[in-house]
Structure 1
Amino acid sequence: MLHIRPRPQGRCLPLPALLPLAALVALPAAAQDEAGSEADPITLDPIVLTANRVPTPEREVGSAVTIIGAEELEERQVRVVSDVLRSVPGVSVNRTGTIGGLTQVRLRGSEGNQTLVIIDGIEVNDPASGSEFDFAHLLAQDIARIEVLRGPQSALYGSDAVGGVINIITRKGEGAPSVSGEIEGGTRASFSGHATLSGATEGFDYLASIGTLRTEGFSSAAEWLGNPERDGYRNTTSFAKLGFDPLSNLRIDLVGRWTDFRAESDDFIGGIGATDAPSASDGRQLFGRAQARLDLFEGRWQNTFGVSRTQHQLNYLADGAVTSRYEGNKTKLDWQSTLALRATALPEVSHRITFALEYEEDEATSESAWSSFDRSIGQTGMVGEYQLGLWDDLFLTASVRQDMNDLFGDATTWRTTAAYTFDATGTKLRASYGTGVKNPTLFELYGYTDTYQGNPDLDPETARGWDMGIDQAFWQDRGTLSVTYFNQRITDLIQGTGETSVNVAGTSAIEGVELGLALEPVDALTFRASYTWMNGEDATGAELVRRPRHSASLDVNYRFLSGKANVNLGLVWNGAQKDWAYDAAYTRSVVSLDSYTLVNLAAAYKVSEAAELFARVENLFDTEYEEVYTYGGAGRTAYAGLRVAF
């Protein structure tokens, strides 16, 4: 929804009045107009955390961003995060087979490793897996919100953010100590559940959660192609968050996350494709961050210091024996300083200036029967961002970043955005332009498998992209329609050939239109819909693979019986798309994958204030579909469970 704030009256400030900047003095960002009445209620704008380097009111954001809240995740009974991302405009999801298979997420047609993923402030892209984050193992337990920021964001976040950013924030401990949890069972011996302990006292909050998901699953190689063997999956994830205020202006946050998984899979054979085999993988992920935030001058100057560490371990197995091992580690140190200014002579002009300094080191190691390597690369980044607000209507931002890399030349990227709101009509116009750079990954440079050899001569990819859009509220704010056109260009795109990786000479072009609709025609009945048209071609004019030209989604939710009961219907339509096939010599050719529609149905009923029964059916009509050539999606499954809270 587009949240509209009443327009202050009696404002008519001419542009020349902006010139005497010498009158600027620092004032608290939350200062109120002295003419306003203290008795009037204050409506706070929803905050977007990812679109700029500092949290920004939604109405001031000029980029295209989608926010998914905890309530929507609960209504749809989402268990893995990638499933809810299918309904976001501009997002393509491809899973290699069923749950537990490699899951790639692309934003606006960019590659999977051009999507930066952040969980609780930790950048979790894996240096040993092409600097990509595999969404296969990310459970949706205790998530407070997901933000999907689209378009080149390298000026804010560096190399991995050419396509955009997916930021996942888990819940924070609040209120009296409480225990909550849920448990469910389903077809194919499926089981999942989690338990959470949380709470807060004055100056201290905490949350600890542990969850598991297990299933016998379906065959990763498409069952309708003659592959009956089931490929099971198990996942155990736990995390903890602590926050405390040793001083009134000092905040300390600690977060740690651990995941252990095992996924049975199938082999891929040139000339045949995916086929049943006793293959599997197991691994562990360990993410952690410590952060301190110091507020000075009544919050006008904020400084944040942080250190993050991620570790990805992945073993490939055949007949129970390890055939290869991969480990990716990332260490990051960061400092950010933000100063908020407001002009006393010009109360409707606000400024926010941010500077950030980051250092990160990526390390990737692998061991296998055919090769091994151990490589690392360091990078230092400096970021500057300026935000300007005029008359509480026009909001401009400009960002620039300088990256100094151990292997490649220094890179400068920049971004600018604009947003203008018409409160009287509930209209917001927005536009953004940005540049990006994506360095070759350690695996692309030096990696080896039995069929692949790295290419140390690769050049960085460069990108530029822009978008423009409108968010329009209507029907007394019961509805919001968003329309965005985007255009993106990537030069020296890196693509795999089956045997190595190469830069595709020239520029790849991607453009498209994103539509989003949120509607509440009557109380407790909501509709959420999206549609994306996207056309992506590489420099040779060939259609980019695994990017459907058309995709759409619809989510309908209804609460009744005084809010005790809830029913949810979800549809995802994925249009036809291209993919790669390989012959016996692993020579690549292009094939077409058919369109498909998935229908999910979920319902819940609160039997008391502390207990709720729920059930759902996924892939209600047992649709046979492929997101990757010869790999089959999951068939119809049903689940039922109980959720409690004390």
Structure 2
Amino acid sequence: MTPSPLSRLALCAALAPLAVQAQTAGPASPIMLDTVVISGGLSPVAADAYGRAFTVLTADDIERRGLRTVQDALRTVPGVSVSSTGSSITQVRIRGAEANHTLVLIDGVQAAGGADEYVMSSLETANIERIEVLRGPQSVFFGSNASAGVINIVTRRGRSGTHYGGAVEVGNGTAASGWFTQRGPRGGLAFTASARDDKGFDQSGDGGEKDGSDRQTIGLTGDWKPADDVTLGFTLRRAGEDYDYDAVNFGATDAGSYLIDDPTLYGERTEVSGAAWAEYAMLDGRLTHRLEVQGTVLKLSDNGGDETRGETRALKYRLSYGLDGQPVESAAHLLNVMVERIDDENNAGPDFDRRNTSVALEYRGFLDNGLDIQAGLRRDDNEVFQDFTSWNLGLSWRIPDTALRLHASAGRGLVNPAFYELYADDTFTVGNPDLRPERNTGFDIGIEAGLLDGRGLIDVTYFNETMDDEITYVFGGAPDGVRASYVNEAGESPREGIEVAARLEATDALDLGLAYTYLSAKGPDGSVEIRRPRHELGLTASLAVAGGRGRITADLRHVAGNYDTQFWGAFATEELPDFTVVNLSGGYDVTDSLRLTSRVVNLFDEEYSDVWGYASAGRTVHVGLETAW
């Protein structure tokens, strides 16, 4: 069989680090990295042993690049497409899948209640410790809505001792945040709070009223060891947001007339989530049990109208066993078993609560030859849809006596239809209760290479995924022939691409970074999928100045080959103009505990759109102060 052009390109890209490594004088040694543990399985796993494609954005990454919202942070990650219809309604797609195929977690708890897609909105990065982006089918570990990937947002935990601090910023609005952490030998507590009143911009692009958002978030987490073999913990979070938006003109003839400035339209969003858990270790740590209860409620309303409410409740039990007789934390052969019960309810279908009971198994092997294995299997007993088996396999091999690591994974996942897709009955849309879940099957293979005696790292990954039974919105598809409805498309929706991530310590003062994604995503009929750019390139350069007390960072983002439907005229799918956006950020340590910050968003005032008819923010300047003790 003759390989496709993309497959040949992927092979060349994957071999490029080998060529660079071959040019390095002397014997190679693996790049030394800080130990990073990610939520990539039924229990945490070390990043350098993880076989699946992932990105971790740390608090330092976020601060250095001046990223103040999670949606902006995700725009820097390979394999992730972010599209916004205004600053408060943002969708995230991983590897060209649908937006509701990515599960968003905050401290391990589902961010959206009622089996809905989580709208990223103005979710702030204040008090975030790290953001984990896991790409590829993850349903074995996280269930429905994780068929394309998972975004896990981990909030501040704090280090040993008592610490506190905060930040303020002014620019196109105001923002403030504060935190307090205390950690001792038996546990810790972390309290965080933030508020951002963003004046926004005119989404219609007509020079009218700014469409802003006002968001407040409060969080509390804690853990405690009442005995050496028992640990208790909890997390609580509440966020509220008011935001503005503009009206849609159904008689539009072009992009400029599609959105109409309307200062009267507004929305409200409330998010409440929490979890409580207990862990018990037996047999000198060789056997551990974890029991956790979780809950999430999401409420939305527009213009003071009826409120939509979704709620998800979960009960989870996990057993971990060191098969080699070692404690779970250090076992070379580990078995995880999980039993999970999830209940969803949503007033989009008030008479159709959903329940799902699952059993999952995971084996991990950390072998002496540098080969690490993760294999998982899950069976869902679903009261509404057919039972389903998902699976996942990940391999990571650190090639001896080199700075190379090969990684590969394959898996299968699913997404259950949303309540609205099944049971909607309003002016414009009728649900389809006969919808089938969407299924995603795929694989990836990549190579990670340390460069220049550990001063750099590059990772190149090729992925190939296929969606079956893709759900689409059809105008006039309802039984009455007038309203719209949802249907499962016949055939397969193929997606493939290349993800590249690299970083380099060019000098003691200058750090460079790169993120690139090539994506081909098509529907069953061969049509291009919308809001999934073919090319996304990110470049970053960060320079230490003033003897290391200051730092200046520049970020460039280029997007090309992005298609979207024009909701006027022939309702055609057309390509949006390519665009390039440059952002600057900087910081200076006035004292050891006080830092002056600044950032310029869209430095060259580029006019661009992620979605036809919706403008994006122009140039804005912000300054702030941060403190920590």
Q: TM-score, structure 1 length as denominator?
A: 0.87
Q: Confirm or deny that 1:424 pairs with 2:397.
A: no
1:550 counterpart letter in structure 2: H
CA-to-aligned-CA distance 1:200-240 (integer Å, 9 cap, x gap): 2331311111111112221122x1xx352211210011111
Judge conservation of contact 1:45–1:58 (CA < 8 Å) in 2: no
Residues 374, 314 of structure 1: alpha-carbon distance in 2 compared, 3 angstrom cutoff: farther
Residues 45, 335 of structure 1: alpha-carbon distance in 2 compared, 3 angstrom cutoff: farther
Q: Confirm or deny that 1:395 pairs with 2:377.
A: no
In structure 1, the residue matched to 2:134 is 149
The Cα shift of 1:576 comes to 2.8
SS of the residue corresponding to residue 632 of structure 1 reads coil
Judge conservation of contact 2:193–2:219 (CA < 8 Å) in 1: yes
In structure 2, the residue matched to 1:565 is 550
Moved more, 413-422 or 130-139: 130-139
SS of the residue corresponding to residue 172 of structure 1 reads coil
Judge conservation of contact 1:349–1:390 (CA < 8 Å) in 2: no
Q: Confirm or deny that 1:497 pairs with 2:474.
A: yes
The Cα shift of 1:343 comes to 7.2
Residues 416, 359 of structure 1: alpha-carbon distance in 2 compared, 3 angstrom cutoff: same
In structure 2, runs of 5+ residues without a counterpart are 1-16, 18-31, 253-257, 476-483
Judge conservation of contact 2:371–2:397 (CA < 8 Å) in 1: yes
In structure 2, the residue matched to 1:608 is 591
Q: Confirm or deny that 1:315 pairs with 2:297.
A: no
Q: Confirm or deny that 1:244 pairs with 2:224.
A: yes
Give distance in 1, aligned partners of 2:596 and 2:369.
Answer: 46
In structure 2, the residue matched to 1:160 is 145
- The aligned runs of 1:70-219 (5 Å cut-off) are 70-97=59-86, 99-100=87-88, 102-127=89-114, 131-187=116-172, 190-219=173-202
- The aligned runs of 1:220-259 (5 Å cut-off) are 220-221=203-204, 223=205, 226-259=206-239
In structure 2, the residue matched to 1:594 is 577
Q: 2:494 aligns with which of 472, 492, 509?
A: 509
Aligned Cα root-mean-square deviation (Å) = 1.9
In structure 2, the residue matched to 1:65 is 54
Give distance in 2, aligned partners of 1:420 and 1:412.
Answer: 27
- The aligned runs of 1:453-472 (5 Å cut-off) are 453-472=430-449
Q: Confirm or deny that 1:477 pairs with 2:477.
A: no
Judge conservation of contact 1:494–1:504 (CA < 8 Å) in 2: yes
The Cα shift of 1:561 comes to 2.8
Give distance in 2, aligned partners of 1:191 and 1:410.
Answer: 49
Give distance in 1, aligned partners of 2:227 and 2:564.
Answer: 56
CA-to-aligned-CA distance 1:359-388 (integer Å, 9 cap, x gap): 11111115xxxxx84532111111001112
Judge conservation of contact 2:563–2:573 (CA < 8 Å) in 1: yes
The Cα shift of 1:607 comes to 0.7
The Cα shift of 1:323 comes to 3.0
Q: 2:464 aligns with which of 484, 487, 493?
A: 487
Q: Confirm or deny that 1:533 pairs with 2:533.
A: no
Residues 354, 549 of structure 1: alpha-carbon distance in 2 compared, 3 angstrom cutoff: same
Corresponding pairs, count = 582
Give distance in 1, aligned partners of 2:34 and 2:590.
Answer: 35
Judge conservation of contact 2:369–2:400 (CA < 8 Å) in 1: no
Give distance in 1, aligned partners of 2:341 and 2:127.
Answer: 30
Q: Confirm or deny that 1:617 pairs with 2:617.
A: no
Moved more, 603-612 or 117-126: 117-126
User: Which structure 1 residue ranges, 4+ long, deviate > 6 Å from structure 2?
Assistant: none
2:458 counterpart letter in structure 1: L
Give distance in 2, aligned partners of 1:204 and 1:53.
Answer: 23
Give distance in 2, aligned partners of 1:423 and 1:558.
Answer: 34
The structure whose residues are more often strand, as a share, is 1
The Cα shift of 1:263 comes to 0.4
CA-to-aligned-CA distance 1:250-304 (integer Å, 9 cap, x gap): 1111111111110010122324222212211012110111111112222222211
Give distance in 2, aligned partners of 1:546 and 1:360.
Answer: 31
Give distance in 2, aligned partners of 1:216 and 1:395.
Answer: 49
In structure 2, the residue matched to 1:629 is 612
Give distance in 2, aligned partners of 1:580 and 1:376.
Answer: 33
1:480 counterpart letter in structure 2: L
1:193 counterpart letter in structure 2: A
Give distance in 2, aligned partners of 1:50 and 1:154.
Answer: 13
In structure 1, the residue matched to 2:36 is 47
Judge conservation of contact 1:271–1:582 (CA < 8 Å) in 2: no
CA-to-aligned-CA distance 1:616-639 (integer Å, 9 cap, x gap): 100111111111110111111100
Residues 339, 456 of structure 1: alpha-carbon distance in 2 compared, 3 angstrom cutoff: same
In structure 2, the residue matched to 1:260 is 240
Give distance in 2, aligned partners of 1:334 and 1:560.
Answer: 49
Give distance in 2, aligned partners of 1:600 and 1:593.
Answer: 21
In structure 1, the residue matched to 2:383 is 406
CA-to-aligned-CA distance 1:395-437 (integer Å, 9 cap, x gap): 1221100001111110011111111111421100111110111
Q: 2:273 aligns with which of 280, 283, 287?
A: 287
SS of the residue corresponding to residue 307 of structure 2 reads strand
Give distance in 1, aligned partners of 2:394 and 2:555.
Answer: 33
CA-to-aligned-CA distance 1:436-489 (integer Å, 9 cap, x gap): 111111111012343222111111111210000000111011111111000000
Q: 1:556 aligns with which of 522, 531, 541?
A: 541
Judge conservation of contact 2:391–2:411 (CA < 8 Å) in 1: yes
SS of the residue corresponding to residue 145 of structure 2 reads helix
Q: 2:506 aligns with which of 521, 538, 555?
A: 521
In structure 2, the residue matched to 1:35 is none
Give distance in 2, aligned partners of 1:181 and 1:354.
Answer: 39
Give distance in 1, aligned partners of 2:497 and 2:623.
Answer: 39
Give distance in 1, aligned partners of 2:375 and 2:106.
Answer: 25
In structure 1, the residue matched to 2:342 is 360
Give distance in 2, aligned partners of 1:374 and 1:106.
Answer: 30
2:437 counterpart letter in structure 1: P
2:323 counterpart letter in structure 1: L
Give distance in 2, aligned partners of 1:495 and 1:269.
Answer: 23
The Cα shift of 1:45 comes to 6.3
In structure 1, runs of 5+ residues without a counterpart are 3-42, 367-371
2:624 counterpart letter in structure 1: G
1:75 counterpart letter in structure 2: R
1:115 counterpart letter in structure 2: T
1:468 counterpart letter in structure 2: I
Give distance in 1, aligned partners of 2:470 and 2:367.
Answer: 39
Give distance in 1, aligned partners of 2:591 and 2:562.
Answer: 47
Give distance in 2, aligned partners of 1:583 and 1:640.
Answer: 41
The Cα shift of 1:329 comes to 0.5
The Cα shift of 1:588 comes to 4.0
Q: Confirm or deny that 1:639 pairs with 2:622.
A: yes
The Cα shift of 1:324 comes to 3.3
